[in-house]
């Protein structure tokens, strides 16, 4: 047998063995791309897709089913996002991952940390510390419930800079807000709908959530939404000290300033629990506390009732100046959101953001 024939035989055997080895391993594929101290690891099979982003000591994992970059190809740039004047532009890839430029996930310049001074840490003035669970009632007939009316009147009478609904307008204005404490894959779908419908919204996030899913937070910011402070660890602000309140608010604000070049003066109480001492302190920090006048039990994933239920519940409670609270973990909300927006606009409503005066 000639040397060429022997060589061809050996190569064929090697090829067959390689193919057999791949079949034994199944369809699972792992790709690792390393650049400096940053590593993106992607695992794929027929059922799931996940991504883990590691930087220093912090690790984030994307929701199951989230699109991830293919290391074999260059990211595809989708578009340039228009930002408010004076803020740099950035691009987003079709994979849903924002290009990390300079020192932040948005490409915006990091902001200096703000000072949060706790005056009267021991509450020597005896501001009421009794727990208040936010109540709003069921709005109907295009009007806020009397409970919401009384709540807003109380906030206004004390100059607490808090809002349950906009009682300064009789125009058909709506403020769409979401609480985002963790991820199960629906926030990105909600963002897709908001982008398609050109509707701005406010997302209230906790610190672990913005650390774990920086690509989603960057997308919110760069697409013109507000990312509000929902605290570091989601405690009841009626059960912690004034100093601890400050630490909860500051930890979130410090991180989003440093890692995203962003801040917004809006706060939402975890679980809607507060007291007058906390209202006074948050006001002293320059935050507007954002409550709500329209909501329903959408957070319970074991009690989802379908797209039609979400649509009927929300649309039946709309009223001028309404602050709408939804949870981004609800598949019902994600599926009904486009129809809710279309219906509201057909009734003459306009979606707006609360005035945003950034802290410096």
User: Of 39-43, 180-184, 311-315, 355-359, which range is least confident?
Assistant: 39-43
Q: What is this structure's pTM?
A: 0.73
d(CA 152, CA 135): 11
Q: Sorting pLDDT into bands at 50, 70 and 90, what band is 52?
A: very low
d(CA 136, CA 148): 4
b/e burial code for range 103-118 (CB count within 10 A of at least 16 → b): ebbbbbeebeebebeb
> Which fold, 132-351?
TIM Barrel (3.20.20)
The SS3 call for residue 10 is helix
Assess whether 339 carries a catalytic annotation.
no
User: Of 7-21, 28-42, 277-291, which range is least confident?
Assistant: 28-42
Q: What is the pLDDT of residue 103?
A: 77
- Quote the DSSP letter at residue 101: B
Q: List residues bridging with 102 in a β-sheet.
A: none
Length of the chain: 360
Catalytic residue among 225, 230, 319, 327: 327
d(CA 71, CA 61): 17
Q: What is the residue-wise DSSP string for 108-174?
A: SPPPPPPP---SSTT-TT------EE------BTTB--HHHHHHHHHHHHTT--EESB-TT--S-EE
Catalytic residue among 179, 253, 298, 332: 179
Question: What are the residue ranges spanned by the domains of the chain?
Answer: 132-351
Assess whether 225 carries a catalytic annotation.
no
């Amino acid at each position: 047998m000639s040397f060429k024939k022997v060589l061809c035989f050996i190569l064929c055997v090697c090829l067959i063995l390689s193919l057999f080895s791949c079949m034994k391993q199944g369809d699972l594929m792992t790709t690792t791309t390393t650049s400096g101290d940053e590593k993106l690891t992607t695992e794929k099979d027929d059922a799931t897709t996940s991504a883990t982003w590691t930087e220093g000591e912090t690790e984030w994992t994307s929701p199951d089913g989230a699109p991830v970059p293919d290391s074999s190809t260059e990211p595809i740039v989708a578009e340039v996002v228009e930002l408010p004047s004076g803020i740099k532009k950035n691009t987003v890839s079709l994979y849903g991952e924002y290009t990390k430029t300079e020192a932040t996930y948005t490409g915006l310049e990091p902001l200096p940390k703000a000072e949060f001074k706790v005056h009267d840490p021991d509450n020597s003035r005896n501001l009421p510390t009794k727990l208040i669970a936010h109540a709003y009632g069921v709005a109907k007939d295009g009007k806020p419930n009397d409970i919401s009316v009384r709540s807003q009147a109380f906030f206004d009478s004390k100059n607490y800079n808090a809002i349950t609904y906009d009682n300064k307008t009789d125009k058909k204005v709506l403020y769409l807000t979401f609480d985002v404490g963790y991820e199960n894959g629906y926030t990105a779908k909600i963002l897709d709908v908001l982008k398609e419908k050109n509707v701005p919204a406010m997302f209230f996030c906790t610190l672990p959530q913005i650390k774990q899913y920086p690509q989603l937070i960057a997308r919110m910011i760069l697409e013109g939404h507000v990312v509000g402070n929902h605290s570091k660890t989601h405690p009841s602000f009626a059960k912690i000290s004034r100093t601890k309140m400050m630490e909860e608010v500051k930890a979130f604000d410090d991180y989003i300033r440093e890692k995203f070049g962003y801040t917004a003066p809006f706060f939402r109480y975890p679980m809607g629990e507060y007291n007058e001492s906390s209202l006074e302190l948050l006001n002293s920090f320059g935050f507007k506390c954002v409550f709500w006048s329209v909501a329903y039990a959408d957070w319970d994933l074991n009690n989802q009732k379908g797209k039609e239920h979400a649509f009927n519940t929300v649309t039946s409670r709309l009223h001028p100046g309404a602050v709408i609270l939804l949870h981004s973990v609800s598949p019902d909300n994600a599926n009904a959101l486009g129809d809710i927006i279309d219906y509201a606009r057909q009734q003459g409503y306009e979606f707006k953001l609360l005035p945003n005066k950034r802290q410096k």
